[in-house]
Structure 1
Amino acid sequence: MNTPQTTEVADTVADIQPYVQAKDFAAIVDAISPLTSEQVAALLERLPVNHLAIVYRLLPKEKALEVFERLSPRMQGDLIDGLQDSEVTALFADLDPDDRVWLLDELPAALAPRLLHGLSAKDRELTSGVLGYPKGSVGRRMSPEYVSTRIDHTVSEALDRVQRHIADAETIYTLPVLDGSRRVVGVVSLRDLMGSEPGQTISELMQPAKTTSAYQSAEEAARRSTNLGLLALPIVDKEGRLVGILTFDDAVRILEHEETEDSARQGGVEPLRRPYLATPIRTLVKSRIVWLFVLAIGATLTVQVQSHFEPTIEQVTALALFVPLLIGTGGNTGNQAATTVTRAMALGDIQPRDLLKVLLRELGVGSSLGAALGIIGGTITALVFEPRIGLVIGLTLLAVCSLAATVGGIMPMVARALRVDPAVFSNPFISTFVDATGLIVYFLIARAVLQI
């Protein structure tokens, strides 16, 4: 449902399009001036790519940075393509190190050295440190700008440190506590510091720390951070030394990004990474056509199965009528299982060691669903055609649902073991697999029951 804000933004987009084409800059300024930074960002996401830079340049400098930070990394990359080098350099320098790295991941590799060269020595060092971690790791999404304290410091010393670094730190509400070797030994909140006596030591106030390796998957670290409700999760190197923090808002951003990708791939398309209305048609085509080719090739297995059992169909033509029902039911059952298991894996409810448990549970679920559908479908078919056809349909529904649920349940776990995105192994491939195997099961049962 549209909210008043989204409706207002959509109306503004419609209003300024003619002004942009006519290069009536005064009218554009009048249209966007009343909007908040959030609304302007939403407006830019709805504009064609070639109009982004025109509208963005008309924003006041302070508001422009706020708007830029609210855009997705892919939209930021699109906008940079339309800006001058000096504008790009200034924008890049104003970003936090982790946001710079996220943006660099969306830009052509050849552009990275030029942007890094325009930074100050300190900012270049911070950004390069984050860039040094593998893609997909939380080290590449952490902020190296934090405030820490020492276990032997007093409350007064810790608060003084907060005041000195407050302008540069990503957050000050949770402070990692370090020992003499910079290893994380605990955390202390700003609330506890402000409510304690100045002479108290940090060792008296600190709580046990939850930390994560910089080499861990960004999605896993973000899920852990949000599940624990942490304002900031300390990120450590292989020796347990503090190298950065993952803030709660960055964790939420990572999860939104990952869930968008998973949702797209489960539907058989590549994620757009930019709003739909701002995506060129050629990009929409590219995001879908590869998967369609893959699935079309997979669908030839179904055709081969049907051609192999063509003599069986010729003897009992009624069998052909139920093919869409059976393969559709099997595909839907497998997709349901895959979606459920993929979600449970993302939440950490299922681990690789649970493969056998998942297999048995989904076999039980699939057989129960198949028995219920088989009784109903078989009875109706027996009344309309004949009892033997009804028995074939009932047994096939039982077998296909059991097979589909089992395969759909374990395929995401197999994908994770092979270090492949589970979403890729989900709905499209499972549907194709179940279509082919379901037909084989169907015709084998038909041959056995009908003696043909």
Structure 2
Amino acid sequence: MNSIPFADLDELLHAIQDRIDDGDLAAVVEAVAPATAEQMTALFERLPLTQRAVVYRLLPKERAIDLFERLSPGIQSDLIRGLQDSEVAAIFIDLDPDDRVWLLDELPAAIAPRLLQGLSEKERQLTAGVLGYPKDSVGRRMTPEYVSIRAASRVAEALRRVQDRLDEAETVYTLPVLDGGRVVVGVVSLRDLLRADPDAIVTDVMRPAQVVTAYRDAEEAARVCTGMRLLAVPVVDKEARLVGMLTIDDAVKILELEETEDAARQGGVEPLRRPYFATPVRSLVASRIVWLLVLAVGATLTVQVLSVFEATLEQVTVLALFVPLLIGTGGNTGNQAATTVTRALALGDVRPRDLGRVLARELGVGIALGSLLGLLGGGITAVVYDPRIGSVIGLTLLAVCSMAATIGGIMPMIARVLRVDPAVFSNPFITTFVDASGLVIYFLIAKAILQI
């Protein structure tokens, strides 16, 4: 961070906090003046809420608006609560309609009407149009500020239309081409339009359009945009008429938030929706405690299984030594399968109708893994302890790995069929289930082989 007269971000952070505590606001302005936009974003993610509002008020208007747009929706929401109504209104007016909706989704519902009233009639209508779509739909994340061109227009006429609306549009690099009924018939890039013959017809230079409906899941639409490496994707209504554009920056933002949520839930916590250092300790506790309680209740299944087979353990105490190995291996196998399939679902590599194929594939993977681990674990156990104990361990590893991979693979698929986030069936839940069922398999195999 050579542009800041401090060794690193932590030093700048402490310097700003000390100067705010001392009431030396001029020194705060001097300290943050050389910081880049990226550095200011990182700084705001670490400042406490009240100090964040103080620093924000000291920034020039243009710099403050640019910084606000870079912050995560959670941080934006926190910052809004620390500013006065007049400051909030000024920020809200300068945002694009889709960015306003991002912010409104994070704020209490009672605040939204007051903020919308401060907008001009045109801006209020644009924002209300985006707000009218379901919360998780791409219609909620599209921009209604775009430039469209007519299929029958000449290239020169289309370019004049783009120039006339440059200040109104959020993006002009991908231009939707419409027929007389506002139905999307193609798209044309600004580059192709600029190098085309001015007298050519737009239909001669356009290409087929990849569109998404406004009610489609936002994550799916974002993957279409990023997967096909498009700068923007036209968003249409049920009659294929253009209603907005999903830009690449919003698509990336959607995927970042979705993948953060998936990673959190797979780890057994609720997503924070704001950076770690900007999250109060009470919020960290709240994001974890419910899941821990649920998983603790689930873990009683394992205790119940052990109590049922207590007599078996008393007769062959050596079996207890292998309990951590077996349940750990089963849990890890299930987690690997669940993570792989959840990711494949997110990318569109597999779909709910592929449930049977995924089940067969993961069963085969589980058998292969179980065979390898079973031969290794059973062989070592047979040499160290007893051949019969080695047989128990080997067969249990085979059975547990096969079961765990199958369960881990199909649980995310079942979640998708039930219209539940696959990440909700997180790794801790699968581990808890596999622990209990794996112990049942272990003791049943032991009783059969050891005749106890």
Describe the superposition over 1:184-214 as per-residue Cα deviations: whole angstroms up to 9, x where unpaired: 0001111111111221111111111110000
- Trace 1:60-71 onto structure 2 (pairs within 5 A): 60-71=60-71
> Counterpart in 1 of 2:197?
197
What SS does structure 1 have at the residue aligned with 2:422? coil
Query: How far 1:20 sits from its partner (Å)?
Result: 1.9
Kindly indicate whether the alpha-carbon contact (under 8 Å) linking 1:236 and 1:242 is maintained by their aligned counterparts in 2: yes
Query: How far 1:10 sits from its partner (Å)?
Result: 2.4
The gaps in structure 2 that reach 5 residues or longer are none
- Trace 1:71-150 onto structure 2 (pairs within 5 A): 71-150=71-150
> Counterpart in 2 of 1:330?
330
Describe the superposition over 1:238-276 as per-residue Cα deviations: whole angstroms up to 9, x where unpaired: 000000000111111111111111111110011111111
- Structure 1 distance, partners of 2:3, 2:411, is 43
Kindly indicate whether the alpha-carbon contact (under 8 Å) linking 2:149 and 2:177 is maintained by their aligned counterparts in 1: yes
| Counterpart residue type for residue 289 of structure 2 | I
> Counterpart in 2 of 1:294?
294
Question: Is 325-334 or 36-45 further displaced after alignment?
Answer: 36-45
Query: How far 1:36 sits from its partner (Å)?
Result: 1.3
The gaps in structure 1 that reach 5 residues or longer are none
Query: How far 1:4 sits from its partner (Å)?
Result: 10
Asked if residue 234 in structure 1 is aligned to residue 229 in structure 2, the reply is no
Kindly indicate whether the alpha-carbon contact (under 8 Å) linking 1:19 and 1:25 is maintained by their aligned counterparts in 2: yes
Asked if residue 402 in structure 1 is aligned to residue 430 in structure 2, the reply is no
Kindly indicate whether the alpha-carbon contact (under 8 Å) linking 1:175 and 1:188 is maintained by their aligned counterparts in 2: yes
Asked if residue 184 in structure 1 is aligned to residue 184 in structure 2, the reply is yes
- Trace 1:267-306 onto structure 2 (pairs within 5 A): 267-306=267-306
Question: Is 168-177 or 13-22 further displaced after alignment?
Answer: 13-22
Query: How far 1:18 sits from its partner (Å)?
Result: 1.2
Describe the superposition over 1:276-324 as per-residue Cα deviations: whole angstroms up to 9, x where unpaired: 1111100000010010001001001111111011111111111111111
Query: How far 1:39 sits from its partner (Å)?
Result: 1.1
Query: How far 1:22 sits from its partner (Å)?
Result: 2.2
> Counterpart in 2 of 1:265?
265
Asked if residue 347 in structure 1 is aligned to residue 347 in structure 2, the reply is yes
- Structure 2 distance, partners of 1:11, 1:132, is 45
Kindly indicate whether the alpha-carbon contact (under 8 Å) linking 2:3 and 2:34 is maintained by their aligned counterparts in 1: no
Asked if residue 215 in structure 1 is aligned to residue 218 in structure 2, the reply is no
Change (3 A) 1:172 1:82: same
What SS does structure 1 have at the residue aligned with 2:45? helix
Normalising by structure 1, what TM-score?
A: 0.98
- Structure 2 distance, partners of 1:371, 1:114, is 64
- Structure 1 distance, partners of 2:3, 2:373, is 45
What SS does structure 2 have at the residue aligned with 1:57? helix
Query: How far 1:3 sits from its partner (Å)?
Result: 11
> Counterpart in 1 of 2:423?
423
What SS does structure 2 have at the residue aligned with 1:175? strand
Kindly indicate whether the alpha-carbon contact (under 8 Å) linking 2:3 and 2:35 is maintained by their aligned counterparts in 1: no
What SS does structure 2 have at the residue aligned with 1:272? coil
- Structure 2 distance, partners of 1:193, 1:213, is 26
Kindly indicate whether the alpha-carbon contact (under 8 Å) linking 2:295 and 2:432 is maintained by their aligned counterparts in 1: yes
- Structure 2 distance, partners of 1:268, 1:30, is 43
> Counterpart in 1 of 2:32?
32
Query: How far 1:355 sits from its partner (Å)?
Result: 0.8
> Counterpart in 1 of 2:433?
433
- Structure 2 distance, partners of 1:240, 1:363, is 43
| Counterpart residue type for residue 107 of structure 1 | L
| Counterpart residue type for residue 126 of structure 2 | L
> Counterpart in 2 of 1:446?
446
| Counterpart residue type for residue 419 of structure 1 | R
Question: Is 269-278 or 122-131 further displaced after alignment?
Answer: 269-278
Change (3 A) 1:3 1:331: farther
| Counterpart residue type for residue 336 of structure 2 | Q
- Structure 1 distance, partners of 2:21, 2:268, is 36
Query: How far 1:35 sits from its partner (Å)?
Result: 0.4
What SS does structure 2 have at the residue aligned with 1:433? helix
Query: How far 1:26 sits from its partner (Å)?
Result: 1.3
Normalising by structure 2, what TM-score?
A: 0.98
> Counterpart in 1 of 2:48?
48
- Structure 2 distance, partners of 1:260, 1:236, is 28
RMSD value, Cα: 1.4
Kindly indicate whether the alpha-carbon contact (under 8 Å) linking 1:408 and 1:426 is maintained by their aligned counterparts in 2: no
- Trace 1:336-375 onto structure 2 (pairs within 5 A): 336-375=336-375
- Structure 2 distance, partners of 1:378, 1:291, is 36
- Structure 1 distance, partners of 2:197, 2:86, is 49
